[in-house]
Amino acid sequence: MGKLRPKEGRGALWTGRGTPPGAGRGLYLLSCPSSSPSGILSLASGAAHCNPTPAFAFGAPSLRRGREPSERRAPAPRGPSATSLRRPSKVRRPTMPPPPPLLLLTVLVVAAARPGCEFERNPAATCMDLQLRTCSDAAYNHTTFPNLLQHRSWEVVEASSEYILLSVLHQLLEGQCNPDLRLLGCAVLAPRCEGGWVRRPCRHICEGLREVCQPAFDAIDMAWPYFLDCHRYFTREDEGCYDPLEKLRGGLEADEALPSGLPPTFIRFSHHSYAQMVRVLRRTASRCAHVARTYSIGRSFDGRELLVIEFSSRPGQHELMEPEVKLIGNIHGNEVAGREMLIYLAQYLCSEYLLGNPRIQRLLNTTRIHLLPSMNPDGYEVAAAEGAGYNGWTSGRQNAQNLDLNRNFPDLTSEYYRLAETRGARSDHIPIPQHYWWGKVAPETKAIMKWMQTIPFVLSASLHGGDLVVSYPFDFSQHPQEEKMFSPTPDEKMFKLLSRAYADVHPMMMDRSENRCGGNFLKRGSIINGADWYSFTGGMSDFNYLHTNCFEITVELGCVKFPPEEALYTLWQHNKESLLNFVETVHRGIKGVVTDKFGKPVKNARISVKGIRHDITTAPDGDYWRLLPPGIHIVIAQAPGYAKVIKKVIIPTRMKRAGRVDFILQPLGLGSKNFFHGLRRTGPHDPLGGASSLGEATEPDPLRARRQPSADGSKPWWWSYFTSLSTHRPRWLLKY
């Protein structure tokens, strides 16, 4: 806290942080309480207020410390006249009359009456329209100058390296933390101004973002920007701060009351805007807080949260041997039926659980279910603007970058076909090729991939629109020139079983009329191999199967991509049982735990099935789930440094609960080289989180190696970009 110290013949000297308003104009100042450490209480026009503008000495506005790196400094004088041996002459400071006792007493009374300073109320501040293009989507429309970095005009701000950084952050961080960090920086470069008040952003928002986004800066060897210092330029909630990200939430915190007289189990069968969808999901999670929660896996290109609602007996926790299932809708923005089905499913699961439905209670107590109603909320907004019945076949299909998200995943299927021809080579858990990251990767795609690496998903479905059929991998033909070619996975039998679990209880898919929507698939039982339908690369289902343990199918819910509102209830009735039946199939096959002889779980142990060239791996707790069709199977568990264990497993035809098969691995003798062939495969580092999907040590990332500073002190790869655009060299971005 600063102090007001009287000086003989000089008025008062401010010794705290912040510039006294009216410095040099004879204004008497008093320090703010400790709750506002950077503020000062002043008396101007008869009103006491806080002002934390940077400066130091009262009566000497030109003597300022702590200039930021972007400020222009006057060049130091050179030559004989600038010798350091000359004794500095005494500078006479302007004198000020001592404060009138009555005026000073008034200030003291006002300070005592106000235990905390409100944030800066500066009647001298002139609010003006916010004109920075990079900050055009901020939550406010007016700002003022000088800003918190002492930039005094639009021209100075736009020429600053701080502003240039904000404009390219999205590209530098490959879509991460966008637009959150940009809006946070805008709150500093163009502070919010309301009726002569200048308000600072909230410190806890800054701290939360730094915790999440710091790894993204570390990945490109860039220091955290000084102007996003959470303690210097941000303030606490009790000091009148505001949330600079409030516009991103779009009023999502506010609840939407149901019409009077309706029970809480009521489901409104209508289309949901983004804000309505988020409110429904959060309200549902609040009603069933003991078995549900919402969380975000990232943001879309335009900054909308990719919100997931989870149902589990212990929300937020992976439980031993409890399988994980995900259902994803709206990957194509104009295919909206899946989005609505998952919103309805979330409400249905919550309501039926509370009503004591034994089937739903058993499902939620034994399964962890994740619902992502909208993977492409930006595309949905484009499609919804046209509305049901007017939407074209492709309008809104892509994301805001004009990318088809179901063509944006790494092409691992081509690599699989190459490996399949090599005897003994592993063709599962294929790492992401490094060249993939040099292309255009949507933030939505990256969020899904990171999500998949974080949670050991076993089963998944992607809900689409445009036809009425269930398709399964592979979606990419074994011969790329063939547009339609049956291209099965090693788990062809299991994928057929999963697809039929959905189609066989869907009344329209089982309709025997060939004239209906999807009638051309009737003879196939309304299921089809994806590549046999039409071949494409970069699909999400193939990536799930080849990169992780997860088996994913694609469900086409109907021939109308954006159905009218009156058709939604019928769609729900057709798909409700299919969705539940599909999720329940995650309990088919076997499950168990792999441990060593001391009972310690063995992570990333391989579970192989003779005759099926596709292994799955154990989760960090040593548990695994292997989806298998009925029959006799030879199952093998193995891990580096341990002897393999082989067991014979019989799965009855009518068995609907996974059988438990545990493995205890014995260590190999010293010096033994009996490691199974093909396991010790290394792959390049990828930006999703470090190790490969195998969980083993990987080779150094050549890109990362190039980004590391060399011994001769060379700068990171992005340094030349900033120095070419601005006269100010932003050395505050350098870590070394």
Half-sphere exposure of 9 (CA within 13 A, CB side): 4
| Residue 441, φ and ψ in degrees, nearest 5 | -105, 120
- Closest by CA to 23, choosing from 69, 45, 56, 1, is 56
CB-based contact 444:405 (threshold 8 Å)? yes
Q: How far apart are CA 261 and CA 189, in angstroms?
A: 49
Length of the chain: 736
By three-state DSSP, how is residue 699 classified? coil
Spatial contact of 600 and 609, defined as CB atoms under 8 Å apart = no
Write the CB contacts of 698 (distance below 8 Å, at least 6 apart in sequence): 431, 682, 683, 684, 685, 691, 692
The answer to whether the CB of 487 falls within 8 A of the CB of 545 is: no
129/132 Cα distance (integer angstroms): 9
β-bridge mates for residue 606, sequence order: 617, 638
Q: Would you say 427 and 491 are in contact if contact means Cβ atoms under 8 Å apart?
A: no
Count of beta carbons in the 10 Å neighbourhood of residue 363:
21
Q: Which residue has the tokens 């659980």?
A: 353
Distance CA(601)–CA(595), nearest Å, equals 4
Residue that is written with structure tokens 């004239």 in the block: 515
Which residues, at least 6 apart from 358, have a Cβ–Cβ distance to it below 8 Å?
A: none
H-type helices in 367-473, by residue range? Answer: 377-386, 413-420, 443-454
- Give how far Cα 269 sits from Cα of 260, 550, 573, Å: 17, 31, 11
Q: Under 8 Å CB-to-CB from 78, ≥6 apart: which residues?
A: none
Query: Please, what is the Cα angle at 511 between 374 and 571, to 5 degrees?
Result: 30
> How far is 656 from 79, CA to CA, in rounded Å?
91
SS3 state at 53:
coil
Which among 194, 556, 565, 566 is annotated as catalytic? 556
What is the DSSP secondary structure assignment for residue 478, as one 8-state letter? S
Hunting for tokens 């969380």 — which residue is that? 295
The residues pairing with 96 across neighbouring beta strands, listed in sequence order, are: 10
For residues 118 and 128, the answer to whether their CB atoms sit within 8 Å is: no
Question: What crossing angle do the helices spanning 413-420 and 540-547 adopt, rounded to 10°?
Answer: 50
> CA-based angle 347:351:354, to the nearest 5?
145
Find the angle CA(663)-CA(667)-CA(669) to the nearest 5 degrees: 150
By CB neighbour count within 10 A (0-12 exposed, 13-18 middle, 19+ buried), where does 459 fall? buried
Burial of 312-332, coded b for 16+ CB within 10 Å and e otherwise, reads beebeebbebbbbbbbbbbbb
556 included as an active-site residue: yes
DSSP per-residue letters across 623-668: EEEE---SEEEEEEEE-TTB--EEEEEEE-TT--SPEE--EEEPBP
Total Cβ atoms within 10 A of residue 290:
10
Closest to 434 measured CA to CA, from 62, 29, 705:
705
Nearest Cα to Cα of residue 267 among 557, 558, 573, 562: 573
Which residues are marked as active site? 556
